């Protein structure tokens, strides 16, 4: 079989590939982090490169202008290698653009959490300062014994365990600090485990990280475990995205040689960068971070722990495990204090993971006597219905559209993202951005508002097509696809127009349809109506804003009493944080995951019917949305 070499000139890397390989694959093969948030589908246009020499066959993409095409610009995912190539990659096509600009953008987490108040403040790792009597002729107990006695008295816990690493330097620490030391303790049930000792009273310097490892985005928070305050939050695209946009493509990639290692290294890179950035920004020493809690879906947990995820996509779809034992940071290469612990929230099933359990914890559904519904809008949409007595959970593949990925002008919910939109008379568009600056793109809540407003103003029809009859400079065709200009270049941060295309709208329609029909199917299964549900918690990485009214108007959320709704933001991150600041909450997740019954929508005939019917704005069956009508 023919083989060709592909040389990436700026990166000084050359790789040999078989004829028929695309350039994106070649780049990935030699470790170059090309952006491809659509997963190599030719949709996001982010993987553009310039071929400076050699023979290739470029796909026909409207995302590359004719002028650019003449210069050799191509979408790497759509361009087949047919000879030895030389390729130049502009810095904007690299996933890891780094720099403080991208990283320092603040992400405002969602609204209040019901359960943060429900659990006593009792972090997974606490620092307890003690003063122990020094040894004497009459009291020559071993150092550890005298320390354990003091810890039992100080904490009220009867069982103290320890690890070798924790006690190795105890003697030194005790003597160097005149027997005034701080014990770093992991709390579990009614016992404590000694992780380390520090000289003097360091009890105020105790920090932890909570992470939500999403398929599309990774969010992290630095928490002051001495007081409970959130010191900072970061959000970034999951670096695994370069290997595929959804869990299925990542699982396939994990089976390729070194695929699992690369996917693992990618997300560990996300985590370590966030840790380092947030710690630096907040003036926190890495050595003062002993606790990390991660929540994520089953595939993300497998990849994070470097466990082969392949059985997740093979029938009958079983994960290796749904409970992940805590590990030491070094086992994963996470750069916090090596004597610390990293904990993970358990999942229910292959498609209802620890992120959903975190959400159930965060909204307090598990503890309520009211029938409640949690809808978590992410790349997968998860739905849990129930109360303190019973819970049933399901998942639907929604795609990354609401996370701003795979969209022509999509972005995460960070500063610069359009997160709300008004369209007035004369199609005057008033976008609001996170941070208030010039818009750079559109995030999930912005798209929801936009669809609602476009539908209200008749710009799009029930099926999502842009009305060709409207005469406006905002409506035009680019490369054969109709689009609506949300902001013209003069008003945007980049100087380029921000638009929503009919392809984008199709993506959004499928996403909202998947989520709505999951809710409908789960209600049908337990023979309940939406009006029976007293509380509806909407979760998702939308930043601080989601317009419930707009969501109902486009048929994403069911049409019921508005006061039933509350938006709880990134509940996976909230659940991870609640578990970090309360070991009782963490232990509660080990009950919650067992209690949730999993409903497999793929094998539920009601689901597919619901889905097909939901591919309209708001729905095929207008009766379901009386307030929209």
For binding to a second copy (CB under 8 A), which residues are involved? 135-137, 139-145, 161-165, 167-168, 170-172, 175, 305-308, 310-311, 315-325, 327, 331, 349-350, 600, 603
Rounded CA gap, 165 and 552, in Å? 55
Nearer to a second copy, 64 or 348 (CB): 348
Question: Phi then psi for 347, rounded to 5 degrees?
Answer: -110, 170
CB atoms within 10 A of CB 88: 17
Q: Which is nearer to a second copy, 265 or 388 (CB)?
A: 265
Secondary structure (H, E, C), 427-483: HCEEEEECCCCCCCEECHHHHHHHHHHHHHCCCECCCCCECCCCCCCCEEEECCEEE
Residue (284 or 305) nearer to a second copy, CB: 305
CA 344 – CA 346 distance, rounded (Å): 6
Give me the phi and psi of 117, to 5 degrees please: -80, -20
CB of residue 211 vs a second copy: minimum separation in angstroms? 17
- CB closer to a second copy, 317 vs 488: 317
| Burial class (CB within 10 angstroms; exposed 0-12, middle 13-18, buried 19+) of 370 | exposed
Please report how close the Cβ of residue 290 comes to a second copy at its closest, in angstroms: 18
Q: 470 or 608, CB closer to a second copy?
A: 608
The terminus-to-terminus CA distance of the chain in angstroms comes to 61
Nearer to a second copy, 506 or 600 (CB): 600
Residues 537 and 188: their CA atoms lie apart, in Å, by 29
Q: Taking the complex as a whole, how short is the minimal distance between the CB of residue 173 and a second copy, in angstroms?
A: 11
Q: Which is nearer to a second copy, 67 or 315 (CB)?
A: 315
Smallest gap from Cβ 323 to a second copy, in A, equals 7
**Min CB(175)–a second copy separation in Å:** 8
Q: Determine contact, residues 302/351, Cβ cutoff 8 Å.
A: no
What is the DSSP code (8-state) at residue 93?
G
Q: Between residues 327 and 371, which has the closer beta carbon with respect to a second copy?
A: 327
Residue 513 Cβ vs a second copy, minimum distance, rounded to whole Å = 25
CB of 358 to a second copy, least distance (A): 18
Report the nearest approach of a second copy to the CB of residue 171 (Å): 5
14-18: which pairs have CB atoms within 8 A and are 24 or more residues apart?
17/81
Q: Tokens 């292959």, residue?
A: 350
Tokens of 584: 């009782």
- 8 A C-beta contact, residue 456 and residue 553: yes
Angle at the Cα of 157 (from 151 to 163), degrees rounded to 5?
A: 65
Closer Cβ to a second copy, 345 or 556, answer by number? 345
């Amino acid at each position: 079989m023919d083989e060709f070499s592909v040389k990436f000139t700026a990166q000084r890397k050359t790789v040999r590939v078989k004829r028929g390989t695309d350039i994106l694959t070649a780049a990935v093969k030699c470790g170059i982090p090309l952006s491809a948030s659509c997963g190599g589908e030719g949709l996001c246009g982010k993987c553009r490169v310039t071929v400076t020499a050699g023979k290739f066959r470029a796909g026909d993409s409207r995302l590359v202008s004719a002028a650019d095409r003449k210069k050799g610009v191509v979408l790497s995912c759509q361009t087949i290698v047919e000879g030895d190539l030389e390729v130049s990659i502009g810095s904007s096509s690299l996933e890891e653009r780094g720099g403080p600009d991208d990283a320092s953008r603040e992400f405002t987490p969602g609204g209040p959490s019901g359960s943060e108040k429900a659990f006593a403040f009792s972090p997974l790792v606490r620092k307890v300062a003690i003063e122990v009597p020094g040894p004497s002729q009459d009291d020559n107990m071993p150092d550890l014994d005298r320390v354990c006695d003091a810890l039992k008295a100080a904490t009220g816990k009867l069982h103290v365990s320890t690890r070798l690493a924790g006690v190795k330097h105890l003697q030194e620490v005790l003597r160097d600090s005149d027997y005034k030391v701080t014990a770093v303790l992991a709390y579990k049930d009614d016992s404590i485990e000694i992780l380390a000792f520090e000289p003097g009273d360091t009890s105020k310097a105790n920090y932890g990280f909570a992470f939500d490892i999403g398929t599309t985005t990774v969010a992290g928070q630095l928490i002051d475990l001495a007081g409970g305050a959130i010191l900072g939050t970061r959000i970034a695209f999951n670096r695994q995205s370069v290997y595929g946009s959804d869990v299925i493509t990542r699982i396939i990639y994990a089976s390729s040689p070194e695929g699992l290692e690369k996917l693992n290294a990618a997300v560990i890179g996300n985590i370590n960068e966030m840790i380092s950035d947030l710690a630096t920004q907040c003036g926190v020493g890495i050595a003062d971070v002993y606790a990390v809690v991660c929540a994520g879906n089953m595939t993300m947990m497998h990849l994070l722990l470097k466990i082969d995820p392949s059985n997740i996509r093979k029938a009958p779809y079983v994960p290796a495990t749904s409970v992940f034992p805590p590990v030491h940071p070094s086992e994963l290469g996470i750069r916090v204090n090596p004597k610390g612990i990293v904990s993970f929230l358990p999942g229910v099933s292959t498609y209802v993971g620890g992120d959903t359990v975190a959400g159930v914890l965060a909204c307090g559904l598990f503890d309520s006597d009211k029938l409640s519904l949690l809808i978590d809008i992410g790349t997968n949409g998860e739905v849990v219905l129930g109360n303190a007595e019973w819970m049933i959970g399901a998942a639907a593949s929604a795609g990354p559209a609401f996370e701003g990925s795979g969209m022509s002008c999509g972005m995460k919910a960070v500063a610069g993202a359009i997160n709300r939109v008004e369209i007035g008379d004369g199609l005057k568009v008033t976008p609001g951005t996170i941070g208030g600056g010039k818009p750079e793109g559109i995030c999930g809540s912005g798209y929801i508002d936009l669809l609602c407003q476009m539908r209200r103003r008749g710009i799009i029809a029930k099926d999502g097509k842009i009305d060709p009859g409207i005469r406006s400079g905002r409506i035009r065709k680019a490369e054969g696809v109709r689009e609506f200009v949300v902001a013209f270049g003069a008003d945007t941060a980049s100087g380029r127009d921000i638009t929503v295309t009919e392809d984008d709208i199709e993506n959004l329609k499928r996403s909202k349809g998947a989520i709505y029909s999951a809710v409908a199917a789960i209600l049908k299964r337990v023979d309940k109506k939406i009006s029976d549900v007293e509380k509806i918690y909407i979760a998702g990485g939308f930043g601080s804003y989601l317009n419930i009214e707009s969501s109902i108007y486009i048929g994403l959320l069911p049409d019921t009493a508005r006061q039933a709704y509350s938006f709880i933001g990134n509940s996976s991150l909230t659940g991870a944080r609640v578990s970090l600041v309360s070991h009782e909450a963490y232990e509660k997740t080990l009950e919650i995951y067992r209690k949730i019954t999993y409903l497999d929508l793929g094998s539920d005939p009601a689901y597919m019917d619901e889905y097909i019917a939901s591919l309209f704005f708001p729905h095929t069956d207008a009766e379901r949305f009386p307030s929209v009508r």
